[in-house]
Amino acid sequence: MKQLIAFDLDGTLAESKQAIDAEMASLLARLTSVATVAVISGGDWPQFESQLIGNLPKDADLSRLLAMPTSGTKLYRNEGAGWTQIYADNFSPEERDTILAALDKAIVEAGLQDDPAWGDKIEDRGSQITFSALGQQAPLDAKHAWDPDFAKRKKMQAILEPVLPEFTVRTGGSTSLDITRKGIDKAYGIRRLSEITGIATTDMIFMGDAIYPGGNDYAVRAAGVDSVAIRDVTETKRVIEAILFCLSAA
């Protein structure tokens, strides 16, 4: 049986930028009683606090919950006296300037500069820079309608990849691209997780809604970690229920 259950956040545990609902919160709390739980997302730590941690019930075992913002390039854990950052692989100032300059040019070249925006389109998350085409606070209906066939994001990727050879550009949420150092992705986060917890990657399972080539969850499956491709939050709940049944029986 698996010892660690890892999840993506947006589109897997919650709708984009939304808090987990009461049913999901209860299921995750129950899961912490039988396994170690990790959440790996492109969002930064404040997003984890508002979407996930601040909505868990009091009976959740926080000592068995690991939070990995910015695609696993950061790790936070609760050691009894609150949440502590264990590591953060932040960009250098030169790396940051290179990425931001490339993004500014790519937005114009892709013809996306006049799209509506709800909040900032480019967010520096320290160890990851994220482009959100409609801004960080865009409503869900606008996000879902913007790029359903991935064509706009693939165009941005095609523009950025040749000018950012030392970095990786992946699709994130429904309107976003995540940029990290080459080789720094969710698979990297899973390996760091294994080192820190002592749990082998063969004893882990990962769930995400972007487990497809170019998606920011795909690297985990490509690294050989058992993975479940999730369609939506509702399906995640049913899979957690099945895991709880199996682990409780064991």
Distance CA 131, CA 110 (A): 13
CB 170 within 8 A of CB 208: no
Whole-number Å distance between alpha carbons of 67 and 212? 23
Q: Is 61 a catalytic residue?
A: no
* Residue 59, marked binder: no
191 assigned to a ligand binding site = no
Average pLDDT over residues 192-203: 95
- 57-83 average pLDDT score: 93
**What pTM does this model have?**
0.82
Residue 132 assigned to a binding site: no
Q: What is the pLDDT of residues 123-155, one digit of tens each?
A: 999 988 999 999 988 998 999 999 999 899 999
Rg over CA atoms, the chain:
18
Better-scored residue on pLDDT, 158 or 80: 158
Q: How many CB atoms lie within 10 A of CB 81?
A: 6
Confirm or deny that 114 is annotated as ligand binding: no
Q: Is 49 exposed, middle or buried (0-12, 13-18, 19+ CB in 10 A)?
A: middle
Task: Please write the tens of the pLDDT for every residue from 212-247.
Answer: 887 889 989 989 999 999 999 999 999 999 999 998
* Annotated binding residue 217: no
Active site residue 217: no
What pLDDT does 250 receive? Answer: 64
Which pLDDT score, from 0 to 100, does residue 48 have?
96
Domains assigned to the chain: 4-89+184-249 (3.40.50.1000), 93-181 (3.30.1240.20)
Contacts 24+ apart (CB under 8 A), 220-223: 220/6, 220/40, 220/186, 220/187, 220/190, 222/187, 223/187, 223/190, 223/191
Q: For residue 111, is pLDDT > 90?
A: yes
> Which of 10, 89, 185, 217 is flagged as catalytic?
10
